[in-house]
Amino acid sequence: MSAMIRVFKVKSTLSLSLLRKCVLSVVGVPGIMAFLKISIRDGHGNYYTLGSYFYNSSSGGENKIVESVLLLYNSFLSYYSFNPVLSQIIIYYETTKKPKKRKL
């Protein structure tokens, strides 16, 4: 397995469609197995880890990852009672195959 980091620069709040695009750009390769650690960075430079997941493309778990991360993010928003504008979505991953580069 090789370790890689993908950083997505954004200037908006996190949404299901944005997160799905980011996750699928990393794990959208048939036969891939990956460990993902998903974090966000707000406009003030603060980092927040939303969760860590193991993904196997043969089980089709990308929607479960997106749903789980969105639930964690909603909990984060209710706990901190603010909705930060994001500057980055960071996905650290170790994978068995190199993903194809896709434009968002």
Q: Per-10-residue mean pLDDT for the chain, 104 residues long?
A: 83 79 77 81 84 76 76 77 78 72 58
Cβ 76 vs Cβ 48: under 8 Å: yes
What is the per-residue pLDDT for 29?
A: 67
Per-domain boundaries in the chain: 2-95
Which two structure tokens, joined as six digits, stand for 56?
Answer: 């196997």
What is the per-residue pLDDT for 81?
A: 66
Q: Which CATH class is domain 2-95?
A: alpha beta
What is the per-residue pLDDT for 100?
A: 59
The pTM of this model reads 0.71
